[in-house]
Amino acid sequence: MPGGPEPPQRRPLLSVRHLSKSFGPVRAVDDVSLDVYPQEIVGIVGDNAAGKSTFLRLLTGYHQPDGGEIFYRGRPVRISSPRTSRRELGIEMIYQDLSLAPDLRVWENVFLGEERRRLGIFLDAGAMREATADALAKLGAPISPSELFANLSGGEQQAVAIARALLFEREIIIMDEPTAAISLGKVQEVLRLVAELRARGHTVLIVSHRLEDILQVSDRIAVFSHGKILRVVPNEGLRIEDLFRMMFESA
**Residue ranges in contact with other proteins by CB under 8 A:** 81-83, 86-87, 93, 95, 97, 99-104, 108-109, 112-115, 117, 121-123, 148, 150-153
CA 169 from centre of chain: 13
Closer to other proteins by CB, 182 or 214: give it: 182
Which 3 state secondary structure label does DSSP give 13? coil
Q: Least distance in Å: CB of 83 to other proteins?
A: 4
**What is the number of alpha carbons within 13 Å of residue 161 lying toward its C-beta?**
27
Q: Least distance in Å: CB of 175 to other proteins?
A: 14
Name 122's Cβ contacts closer than 8 Å, sequence gap at least 6: none
Question: What are φ and ψ of residue 240, in 5° steps?
Answer: -55, -40
Q: Least distance in Å: CB of 106 to other proteins?
A: 13
Closer to other proteins by CB, 91 or 243: give it: 91
Closer to other proteins by CB, 95 or 232: give it: 95
Q: Least distance in Å: CB of 109 to other proteins?
A: 7
Q: Least distance in Å: CB of 195 to other proteins?
A: 24
Closer to other proteins by CB, 170 or 220: give it: 170
Sign of the alpha-carbon dihedral angle for 221, 14, 187, 101: positive
Q: Are 20 and 67 in contact (CB under 8 A)?
A: yes
Q: Least distance in Å: CB of 84 to other proteins?
A: 9
**CA dist 94 → 149, 170, 204, 217 (Å):** 15, 12, 11, 17
Closer to other proteins by CB, 80 or 188: give it: 80
Q: What is the CA radius of gyration of the chain?
A: 18
Directed axis angle between helix 154-167 and helix 125-138, to 10°?
110
